[in-house]
Structure 1
Amino acid sequence: MSKDRRRTEPHIAGLRAALFGRFRSWLGEVLGVELEPTVDISCAKYEYTDVLLCHDDELEGRRVAFILYLVPPWQSSDGGTLDLYTTDSNFQPQSIVKSLIPSLNTLVLFEVSPVSFHQVSEVLTQDKCRLSLSGWFHGPSLERPRRHIEPPVPRSPHLPRDETLLLEWVNPVYLDISYQEQIQEEFEDSSEIQLKDFLKEEKFMEVREALRLTQIQWTRRGPPNKRCYEAASLDTLPQCVSACWELLRSEAFFLLLSNFTGLRLHYLCPADDDNDSKDEEKEDVLDGKAMGSSTESPSANTSREKEPSTPVCCGELRRWSHGDYTLLHDAEAARAEYALDLVLPFCGADWQSEFGGFTCYVANEEDEELLTVYPEDNSLALVYRDKETLKFVKHVNHKSSSGSANSFYDFSFVYYE
């Protein structure tokens, strides 16, 4: 509101005076709460494919949210509705219980609370603009229950599968030792790499067709303030898809990743004592320059790396369609750790970057975007991130519904030394 205080146009000054004065006093009387003189207010402009995903508005001092719509005639088919969520026993959002269609000169008010989850649904019209004034009246916050903590995702060591699996599935060029050394050198420079045509073409095509044609059971992952996409039930995978899953969890693949990255994901990977200078160079790159901004000292990181541990992984087979996404959230930041991310997409040539569904890496508590990884058929993406690096998948927007490629699939794994 600080910028608006300098504005002198009559319509802005009049609205400000109305909200700050008699209306605030009346609202406080209705609620039985003494609202503070300070009012946050801003203008929001939503156009085609713009969306504001599920959140609760809770921030210190916010007590009542308001929205004043300045829209042309609007219908539900135009999108841009204000969607309100039910919550479960853990105070997490579940499903949309009410959708409010924007209407000119309509003021919407709702109390900010631990369960005030809402979203602005994606604007679907290309001909209209959803314009509104919105903000918060401040007052004493409601007591918030203890935040629900999700159980950690189970991790597993590698499956006892030998190099026969690699020879069956992986493009032979990536099994060449000298080429693996080139890949590792590039990876150590940037902490990320994309390996195109990673699977043998016939294997890739077989899995892609099976994903599209078979009756795999998919489960919606939530809650919507953290994620919204579908994950496959592993016991319903067709044989070739299950075999690809086993490949990514196999001992031979752990060793291959070690050769690609220099990370110790297998006991045959050289230890620090075998190659001190190379590891020191790698630590400098991974902890500073590349995917993160960790302030942990190299010596502290060296002691961390020398601690004996069993490499493990966790993974999902995911399906992405219109409306799917993941979000950054506090719990993810609290649990962030050193890890190697792997994504292997099956998206088809028609999938375009403007549809969304790409993975963004950002520095924690900063606006800086470190890296964007776009889904590309049979292109294995590897990204090493530190404790200060978070990731999210961009909302899949309405443009994805216009063509033949209205969804895509990926294997998503995380490996830990």
Structure 2
Amino acid sequence: MSNKRARIDDSQIEGKLQKDLFTVESLTRLEKAYKESKPYLHCKIDQLCDNDLLLRVRKEILSSLHFTLKETDIYKVNQTGDLANLDGLPETELKQLSSLFELRNALYSQDFRNFISHVTGCGPLSGSKMDMSINSYQTGCHLLNHDDVIGTRRVSYILYLTDPENPWKPEDGGALELYPVIEKGIPASEPTVTIPPQWNQFVMFTVQPGHSFHSVEEVIGTGNRLSISGWFHIPQEGEIGYKELSNEGEAKSSLEQLQEDSSDNFTKYPVEEEETVGLTEDVLTELAEWINPHYLDLKMIHKLSETFLDESAVQCKKFLNETLLEKLERITQQYDEEDKLATGKDGIAPHGTGIREGWVVQGPPHRSRFMISTGKDELFQYLATKFESEAFRQWLNAIVQIMPVGYRGQIRRFRPGHDYTLATTNTRGQGVLDVTFCHVNKPEFWEDGDIGGYECYMAAHDGEEDPATYKVADEDGELLSLAAGKNELSIVLRDQGVMRFIKYVSAKAPGSRWDAAYEYDLPENFEEEEEE
């Protein structure tokens, strides 16, 4: 085969992208690699741009652009605005970003879009809809599992601008992780492909609903994982290849999927409300086996009830009695030490860490990832039976003044560098009672939330914002935030439409977050009774 160029007019990309990228040989090789790639269609180009141009671009970015730290349940990243808006800058400002402007126009030129279409076989791409920004992932930054399915996106891409003089090391984190699917729409709990950042490297993949699940590993080194990332979109109205889209059957965004609450799989209490006995001496004796006696004093219960009725939430510090707490501290510390998660040192534990008899990883990761106790671990099984007991039901009723009619819950472990839950919305049509017992070692490290692990309640997406993202944490959406603590119980009435999540636990955390997370079903008419 000759080494002549493919039919691409390179007038717009001459001197900006690597010269040999568009030869027939190169195109054939990339197209083959793309078609054969796993776990879904993607490819990596080790050197995309002219090196001198990219050096100038990096210099302009670091000297002239402002980054904003954005953090939600799904990511923590420093980001610029949309680079599609460069055209609107005053001439003096645009001169400071002339190389970046040049590169942006090259990436969205007809020439390069033809190249992308040829390699991926994705069909025509829009030249009018530019969609790109610059992301700076520094220590602690991350992006959790999602599939990029939003609107008219066709191809996702990342161009890395890491420091060329200090090559990025895989142990610094920040790798792009690609996940296979168990079935369409359900990603596996662990990735099968990881792509560490590299100077001038270009990675792209076709946005495939229910398949293109990926994440960005937490950055744990001190370097700056700088990148330009964005999407090529399908042709817009008036462009060649435009087809009017129907909303019917349109794939849902990650946010829209997450807003759907799980089914009402509550276990009903066998004892009807009218047959319950209240906080009798026998009930209090049973509760004293595991609960701090301070919280069994009737005056304290009355005080807790007043707080809850006023605020719809209450916290109990030092909740377990000393005997049970000592056992819990011993076993949680032991497991963290065995799994090398008790130090908070540099490095991310490999996927699969913590799997042992009685503990498995629960996903799918586009909704959550954590470990759950399967009931074979005696101490944790004991805790589960206590939170599901009739006696604890009576104690809850005395505080919230509503008798739960059912429950569902799990004993969970959130491992540093791996685990989280993404925000889900209560869509049941009525409130639900969240009761969460949380335990961490070295609680002073968790107080400010910097290493994650906190539980956050927030106002639901209002339907008018981009369905790709949640409100940033410091905006008005946050209703309640509970830092991970040692031996603490929280009771929260979560209304219809309220979202909640457990923030990703950073690899810097000095151990796991352990919890017993239960939801209690309430009578259908309890809100009407409250109003009366």
Q: Name the counterpart of 1:254.
A: 393
Quick one: which amino acid aligns to residue 495 of structure 2?
D
Distance 1:125 1:69 in 2: 16
Shift of 1:328: 2.3
Distance 1:187 1:46 in 2: 40
Partner of 1:91: 185
| Aligned position for 2:85 | 3
Structure 2 residue aligned with 1:125:
221
**In the alignment, what sits opposite 1:232?**
373
Q: CA deviation at 1:182?
A: 1.7
Which of 327, 339, 342 aligns to 2:435? It is 342
Indicate the SS of the match to 2:192: strand
Q: Separation in 2 of the partners of 1:203 and 1:47?
A: 40
Distance in 2 separating the partners of 1:333 and 1:257: 20
- Return the match for 1:363 from 459, 484, 489: 459
Q: Does 1:375 align with 2:484?
A: yes
Pairing of 1:5-84 with structure 2 (within 5 A): 5-7=87-89, 8=94, 9-21=97-109, 22-30=111-119, 31=121, 33-37=123-127, 38-72=129-163, 73-84=167-178
Gaps of 5+ in 2: 1-81, 236-244, 272-281, 336-355, 463-470, 472-476, 523-532
For the residues of structure 1 that align with 2:430 and 2:182, how far apart are their CA atoms? Answer: 29
| AA partner of residue 121 (structure 1) | E
Q: Say if 1:260 and 1:333 are closer, same or farther in 2 by CA, change over 3 A.
A: closer
Show CA shifts across 1:70-113 (max 9, x none): 10211211111111111112331113121112111222211111
Give yes or no for the alignment of 1:413 onto 2:501.
no
Cα distance in 2, alignment partners of residues 416 and 47 from structure 1: 42
Deviations 1:9-49 (A, max 9, x none): 31122122212222124333553512112110101000011
Q: Which amino acid is 2:402 matched to?
A: L
Q: How does 1:155-174 map to 2 (within 5 A)?
A: 155-158=266-269, 162-174=283-295
Distance 1:150 1:344, change over 3 A: closer
Structure of higher CA gyration radius:
2
Conservation of the 8 A alpha-carbon contact between 2:333 and 2:441: no
Please state whether the residue corresponding to 1:398 is helix, strand or coil. Answer: coil
Q: Deviations over 1:122-146 (max 9, x none)?
A: 11102x1000111111106898679
Specify the SS of the correspondent of 2:423.
coil
Contact 2:144/2:216 (8 A) holds in 1 = yes
Mapped partners of 1:96, 1:199: distance in 2: 38
Structure 1's consecutive aligned runs of 4 or more residues displaced over 4 angstroms after TM superposition are: 140-151, 210-216, 332-337
Identity of aligned residues (%): 30
Looking at structure 2, the residues matched to 241 and 112 of structure 1 have their Cα atoms a distance apart, in angstroms, of: 41
The answer (yes or no) to whether the contact 1:63–1:139 under 8 Å persists in 2 is: yes
Aligned-pair CA distance for 1:336: 7.3
Within 2, Cα distance between the matches of 1:168 and 1:225?
39
Quick one: which of 177, 196, 204 aligns to 2:317?
Answer: 196
| 2: CA distance, partners of 1:336 / 1:39 | 40
Q: Give the letter aligned to residue 378 of structure 1.
A: N
| Range with bigger deviation, 112-121 or 183-192 | 183-192
Superposition deviation, residue 210 in structure 1: 4.3
Q: Which of the residues 362, 367, 390 maps onto 1:221?
A: 362
Distance 2:433 2:153 in 1: 39
Does the 8 Å contact 2:108/2:130 carry over to 1? yes
1:348, CA displacement in angstroms? Answer: 2.2
The CA distance in 2 between the partners of 1:411 and 1:109, in whole Å, is 40
Q: Using a 3 Å threshold, how does the CA distance of structure 1 residues 412 and 159 change in structure 2: closer, same or farther?
A: farther
TM-score (norm 2): 0.63
8 A contact 2:443–2:484 mirrored in 1: no
Cα distance in 2 for residues equivalent to 1:177 and 1:153? 33
Q: Distance in 2 between matches of 1:150 and 1:181?
A: 33
CA distance, structure 1, for counterparts of residue 115 and residue 332 of structure 2: 58
Distance 1:138 1:64 in 2: 7
Q: Over the residues paired in the alignment, what is the CA RMSD in angstroms?
A: 2.7
Specify which of 116, 119, 128 is matched with residue 212 of structure 2.
116
- Residue of structure 1 equivalent to 2:30: none
Deviations 1:178-211 (A, max 9, x none): 3222211111222111111222222222333345
Separation in 2, partners of 1:346, 1:65: 40
Q: Name the residue aligned to 2:13.
A: none
Partner of 1:302: none
**How many residues get paired?**
363
1:277-292 to structure 2, matched below 5 A, reads: none
TM superposition shift of 1:335: 5.2
2:495 to 381, 386, 393: 386
Q: Which residue of 1 aligns with 2:414?
A: 320
CA-CA distance at 1:213 after TM superposition: 5.0
C-alpha distance in 1, partners of 2:216/2:122? 29
Q: In terms of mean alpha carbon deviation, does 26-35 or 179-188 score higher?
A: 26-35
Q: Which one is further off, 359-368 or 107-116?
A: 359-368
